[in-house]
Chain A
Amino acid sequence: MTAALKPSSTKAAAQGPVIAELCNITKTFSVAGGRELKVLDQIDLAIHEGELLALLGQSGSGKSTLLRCLTGLTAPTSGRVMAYDKVLDGINPYASIVFQTFALYPWLTVEQNVAVGLMAKLLTRAEKEAAVEKAIDLIGLNNYHDAYPREISGGMRQRVGIARALVAEPKILCLDEAFSALDVLTAENLRNEVVTLWKEQATSLKSIFMVTHNIEEAVEMATRICVLFPHPGRLGLVMENNLAYPRNPHDQEFERLVNVIHDTITMQALPDHPPEPAPVSGRPISRARARLESIPTVPVGRVLGLLSILQDHPELDNIYDIANEIGKDYGETISLVKAAEILEFVDTPKDEVRFTELGKKFMDADSDTRKKIFAEQVQKLRLFHIILGYLEVQEEIDRETVMKDISTALPYENPEKILETMIAWGRYAGLMDYDANTEMVTRPEEEEEEEEEEEKTEVGG
């Protein structure tokens, strides 16, 4: 396999007419506490005829929202959506969506589910049957006509989703994480078929717009890749990918592209800071203390798991290898590493991951000492001072107040998720507790009462 460029076709494609375009799109949602959460910020993005555009982003970066703006399922808060040269009003008639969850109707057979894509069209039954048959044939669903979705495998279900989208004769096919609910082999197979469909132009289909968090998937399929940075969602890297199909993941150029994207995401999520100022009188100053920094919304157990894997496998020194080892995608791995970094257990020059002295000490400690170290580190985080400050002067503080403070401090984050994570970390550190019945964050209970608390949890669960 050569890494030959395919200049003629892709270049022409990039200059083809624009099918759909987002012009200066901003989207905000209202979240708990009556606040506005900005999910997309001033996005400009055009999809041309003939291209396969991939939008990469971590979960929560707003990529699904972007797809919904493009297809007309949600209206942007400000900005325009264009469908060819008209301003879009309502549903984009040129776009069909393939859903991550398949979104098939359980009470309809495969054939009937595919026919749903035709409902908006005025066709006689015979015409409809012919169109459905053609789509079923094209996507390899023969002999499944009368099966119900619950009787067939995930891969087959997604084929039905694709057939239903194609039968509507769209110009642009929108894949919303279409392969992420499938197992590895099925997904790989289906990805190839989708690329073939698009390349052969056997249908009305001109372009594909896919939203994914899987970097390899994007590089394997797309002619152009955009990376969406989170909080709020904005376009980071945009790059062409002119590799010839079928693409080989072990190809040098392929690997280079993957690395470029890795580096971009890493630099955004884990920027290298200037060295910290020297500790003053025994009380170290964390950089998170100087600047109010958000925390990645990951459970404590996973951070500990990551640390113990790092300890067992000293040879794992960059994020990419770690992601492979733990079987998580790159975005999630970065979140875990970032959590460990904020707690000062690891250091991350570029995309390397190294234990700090504190991290080594933490790993060697027994569980009580670990808790103590964890609590010290959490106390250094300014975000936690929101809650700890309240708990210094009063027994408990209600969830709503804390959420309001969080969303003031971190306007682009979802305060509910942040608070959930803070409570989980705070509980492990023994710094706070939460009563779901009263919705109050409380001071932790004294040691002797702990046993009773455990029993209660058991009953409730």
Chain B
Amino acid sequence: MKSTATQLGTAEIGRTFSWVDLVILLSVFGLAWTILHFGHGMTVHFDEGQSPEISTDVRNIPYYAGRTVLRMWIAFGFSLLFTFAVGYAAAKNRVARSIILPALDILQSVPVLGFLSITVTGFMALFPGSLLGVECASIFAIFTGQVWNMAFGFYHSMVTIPNDLQEAATNFRLSPWQRFGTLEVPSSMHSLIWNSMMSFGGGWFFVAQSEAITVLNKNIKLPGLGSYMATAVEKGDNTAAVWAIIAMLAVILASDQFVWRPLLAWADKFKMELVESGQAPQSWLYSFLRRAYIFPWIEEKILRPLADAFVQLKKNTSAIKLIPENPRKLAGRWIPRILGVVAGCWLAYQVVLGVIAAVDAVYNHISWGQFGHLCFLGSLTMGRVTLMTIVATLIWTPIGVWIGSRPDIARFAQPFAQIAASFPVNMTFPFVVGFFVAAHIGINWGSILLIAMGTQWYILFNVIAGAMAIPSDLKEAAKTYRLSRWAIWRVLILPAIFPFWVTGACTAAGGAWNASIVAELATWGNTTLRADGLGAYIAEVTQKGDTPMIICSIAVMCIFVVLTNKLVWRRLYGYAEKRFHLD
């Protein structure tokens, strides 16, 4: 991003090096050392027989937290790469789009956690005798948990770039790279950062879950906060468990303060509107970084000469091959096409192989009766998801509207709700299960609460956002006509927050399916509570390593999710878009 560097170089920024630059330099070196330090631990020897021992000593928490955070960022890095590559391809190429969009749609409804056992065995085969295989499986789980919605978001903002801005780029003959850097990424920046923030928040759930897993009847623990928690619960060490929760909260808060807030403050200028917006997001770290001289210095002394040298080089080479322009142009058109076809064929071949293998494995293993049982379990879980959505809506809608119509409270409450949604509630499940045991609450009902703990927040902060977006003239009009409280709700508030509620409830329901795998089979010390449902079933066959049943049960869950998406949420979206759109 050439543009940003130049911006930092202008206006109110210091002209000499100061202590600010020293702090930044030290932080950069510190960060590099930390990454190496934690990264080293990822490649240590690993033997399937004995997984690394997790110590519940509180002094080890910083190290474990570091490992967890590193995993998150590696997964996020891959997600970002995938987002750019796939989103770009979908926006630019018609053929690619017709494959990518439906594929993303299905993939984002697949309950990732169910696949953990398959991916773990796969990655372990890839890196025999090294912990890296398990690390990869964990990172892959986080990746699949966060990437789809980012890719969708990027694709969507790519195709909604205003036409005149596109035409300007075409008219001034920007190269594809220049177009990408000057127009396409900046115009998607705002939504990209918001989506990343949401996805990253969702990732904590998967990292906590995937660090301590039971696959093929073997306990595998990766050093990290999630496994620390699991070990503490196994040992019944409550103090350690509380420390783990505190550490997790601290890590989430730190990511917010050190990464997302500064990014949001920086990205404010990428908003599309040409009018000054009301209140720009603030970040102390961003203000601090803007005082540094080091960025303009790098721009001036390193990037500029480099760019000039590059231009010089290109000038020299282009002078030589001026004449054979046409063949290159032809090749430039055909090579990517041939590569694309080859890659597509290979991918299709692999998919077909996989499907054949899966069908073969399943065919001899499962009877129609078993399949019927799976569907019955699926409808039980579906009942839980539906009940959770309804109850959460009834509880949080009034609260969300109350908060949303008081801007000063909303400003404080919204980030809080976001952090609450980020917190991996599966870490607190053991305590809640302990409470269920003590209070004699059946897990069949209790699991609904467990599911709700993770997903209800999406409903809350979407409702808050909806209530905040109600134009004040509409509110004033309602007041002028002296509408009754109920009439205001019916005529103004409910229609206005409906589109936001649909988004929130759809996300919550989607997350609930994933959460059911964790929530329906919960452990507290030596007690294991098992609810009747598809989630518990998947969790069980995963632990046993029964591949055909894993495939079947996940397939059934996918069918449930895809069907509800198509039959319920897609229609509600359409209806909301048509009837209740405020512009």
Contact = CB atoms under 8 A, between A and B. Distances in A.
Interface of A: 68, 71, 73, 91, 93, 95-97, 99-109, 112, 116-117, 119-120, 122-126, 146, 148-151, 157, 164, 168, 436-437, 458-460
A91 B172 CA distance: 9
Interface string B312-342: 1011001000000000000000000000000
A147 to B, nearest CB: 10
A112 B5 CA distance: 12
Contact of A122 (B10, B314, B495): B314
Nearest to B269: A107
B179 to A, nearest CB: 9
Contact of B182 (A119, A122, A146): A119
26 contacts: A68-B167, A73-B171, A91-B170, A91-B171, A91-B173, A95-B171, A97-B171, A101-B162, A106-B272, A106-B273, A107-B186, A107-B270, A108-B182, A112-B7, A116-B168, A116-B169, A119-B174, A119-B178, A122-B311, A122-B318, A124-B312, A148-B269, A149-B274, A150-B275, A168-B172, A460-B579
Contacts of A437: 578-579
B501 to A, nearest CB: 17
B165 A125 contact: no
Contacts of A459: 491, 495
A107 B173 contact: no
A104 B273 CA distance: 11
Contacts of B187: 107
B89 interface: no
B164 A101 contact: yes
A117 B304 CA distance: 19
Given A122-B315, A437-B579, A99 B173 contact: no
B394 interface: no
B307 interface: yes
B287 interface: no
Contact of A105 (B165, B173, B314, B318): B165
Contacts of B304: 125
Contacts of A108: 3, 182
A150 B276 contact: yes
B102 to A, nearest CB: 24
Contacts of B174: 116, 119-120
Contacts of B6: 112
A146 B10 CA distance: 7
Interface of B: 3, 6-7, 10-11, 162, 164-165, 167-175, 178, 182-183, 186-187, 189, 269-276, 304, 307-308, 311-312, 314-315, 318, 491, 495, 578-579
Given A107-B269, A125-B307, A150-B275, A73 B182 contact: no
Contacts, number: 102
Contacts of A157: 274
A286 to B, nearest CB: 38
Contact of A150 (B273, B314, B318): B273
Contacts of A168: 172
Contact of A99 (B11, B167, B273, B318): B167
| Interface residues of B, dominant DSSP | helix
Nearest to A99: B164
B307 to A, nearest CB: 6
A254 B56 CA distance: 91
Contacts of B276: 150-151
Contact of A146 (B11, B307, B311): B11
Given A93-B173, A106-B274, A120-B173, 8 more contacts: A99-B164, A105-B165, A105-B182, A116-B174, A120-B174, A125-B308, A146-B11, A437-B578
Which of A125, A126, A164 neighbours the largest number of chain B CB atoms within 10 Å of its CB?
A125
Contacts of A105: 165, 168, 182-183, 186
B305 to A, nearest CB: 9
Contacts of A460: 495, 579
A282 B170 CA distance: 61
Contact of B274 (A99, A109, A150): A150
Given A97-B168, A107-B3, A124 B269 contact: no
A106 B269 contact: yes
Contacts of A125: 304, 307-308
A73 B579 contact: no
Nearest to B10: A146
Contact of B168 (A93, A99, A122, A151): A99
A97 B167 contact: yes
A120 B307 CA distance: 14
Nearest to B477: A458
Contacts of A148: 269
B391 to A, nearest CB: 27
A73 B183 contact: no
A317 B299 CA distance: 66
Contacts of A458: 491
A424 to B, nearest CB: 20
B186 A124 contact: no
B473 to A, nearest CB: 12
A97 B173 CA distance: 12
A150 B312 CA distance: 35
B274 A103 contact: no
Contacts of A123: 311
Contacts of A122: 311, 314-315, 318
A119 B173 CA distance: 8
